[in-house]
Structure 1
Amino acid sequence: MTTVTRDEVWEMFREVARRFEETDKQFKETDRKFQETTKQFKETDRKFQETTKQFKDTDRKFQETDRKFQNTERLVKEVSKSIGDLGNRLGEFVQEMVRPALVNLFRERNIDVHEVHPNIYAERNGESAEIDLLVVNEQTAIAVECKSQMTIDDVNEHLNRLEKLKRLLPKYRDVELMGAVAAMVMPNDVARYAYRKGLYVLAQSGNTVLIRNDGKFSPKIW
């Protein structure tokens, strides 16, 4: 049987005490790290809540912006419609202003027309066209496009309309078809363009309507 001396016993106690101190130290270190982790978790949670709040604020602002955008879009549509309606009414005004003068204006140009037909619409074989005013006699027809303000695009559209008019209105197949554009506002560049394309150019001058083409003008015949 082995005999344990007093010194060995004390050494064992010292070793146990040392290990206890190390364990206690490790426990305290673990507790410190746990507290740091808890603190970090709380900080992360706080930031998450702030982010959530910011997201909600952003979403609210986005919804407000979207609502304002929809209101703005609605207002733009309403204004565009109002402008379009006004443009149509002004175009109708030009049409009514021009119509009584057409027969005399073209007779002064030695074109002996005697009838004016407003708002001619034709549709045939998938094509369609609408003529504001059609001035005619037995041998001649002049299709007049009326606008409050004439543009080059309007002139081009009328030229395309004239290209297909005889197909759509066979009763005028054998007449000399010519074209004209009339407007309250006729910019000079548009008037020159229409002139070069062989169209009569009618514009307001004071309280009357005049044909602006000079004596050298030769109309295009369709």
Structure 2
Amino acid sequence: MESNTGFEDIRAILKEVAEKQREITEQQRENDKEISRVAKIVGDIGNKFGTFTEGMAFPSMDKVLRKQFGVTTVTTNYTTQAGADTLEIDVLGLANRDANIAVIVEVKSHLRKRDIDQTLKTIDRFRRLHPEHASKKLYGVIACVSGSKEQREEAQRAGLFVASIHDEVFELKTLANFVPKDFSAEVVA
């Protein structure tokens, strides 16, 4: 008789364990849903901040490009497509005749190494997708709200201008020995 009671106790314990496992699984599903909801909210906030930053940068960069680079045409949210390749540029400045220049501006809320790499790739892709601008000098600018001194210096070592926000206006901020790179001179592989 005792052995039968032991089996009943084991069955009761297994049933209890199975119920707890079901509760844990259900709680995990609820947690996953909540994490997804919060991640979407955070992503939306990040996108809105990026859009806000770009909106703040556009008027300033229009003035900087016209005054400091002599561009005559400034386009925001520039998109071009060649086959399956789509290129998006935050701000593009162009000038013909005497200036004969193209300036690509990428706007970032916080400057990171990957932003420098991405900007350099964007410049390269622009050259490849737009051979009609091959005779133009080609410069790159990263406009950022924040970023470490080291990241700003790294961008400048890569030949990119860096624009920072000051009193709600973006301005070019360069090192004393900064030499901008004319990216048109590079050979496209």
User: Smaller-chain TM-score range?
Assistant: 0.7 to 0.9
When residues 70 and 154 of structure 1 are mapped into structure 2, their CA distance, relative to the original with a 3 A threshold, is farther
Q: Deviations along 1:67-113, whole A, 9 cap, x unmatched? A: 2222222222222222222122111112121111224324554x211
2:61 equivalent to 1:102: yes
What CA RMSD, in Å, does the superposition of the two structures yield over aligned residues? 2.0
When residues 174 and 83 of structure 1 are mapped into structure 2, their CA distance, relative to the original with a 3 A threshold, is farther
Q: Deviations along 1:44-74, whole A, 9 cap, x unmatched? A: x333333332222222222222222222222
Q: Deviations along 1:114-169, whole A, 9 cap, x unmatched? A: 22211122232443321111122122111111122121112212211211112223
**Structure 1, unaligned runs of 5 or more:** 1-38
The match for 1:76 is: 35
The match for 1:142 is: 103
Secondary structure in 2 aligned to 1:143? strand
The match for 1:48 is: 7
- TM-score normalised by L of structure 2: 0.83
Q: Deviations along 1:2-29, whole A, 9 cap, x unmatched? A: xxxxxxxxxxxxxxxxxxxxxxxxxxxx
Identity %: 24
Secondary structure in 2 aligned to 1:134? strand
Structure showing greater radius of gyration is: 1
CA positional deviation for 1:214: 3.1
Name the CA distance, whole Å, in 2 between partners of 1:161 and 1:51.
66
2:73 equivalent to 1:115: yes
8 Å Cα contact 2:78-2:88 kept in structure 1: yes
**In the comparison of the two structures, how many residue pairs are matched?**
180
When residues 103 and 118 of structure 1 are mapped into structure 2, their CA distance, relative to the original with a 3 A threshold, is closer
- TM-score normalised by L of structure 1: 0.72
Divergent runs of 4+, >6 A: none
Name the CA distance, whole Å, in 1 between partners of 2:10 and 2:80.
64
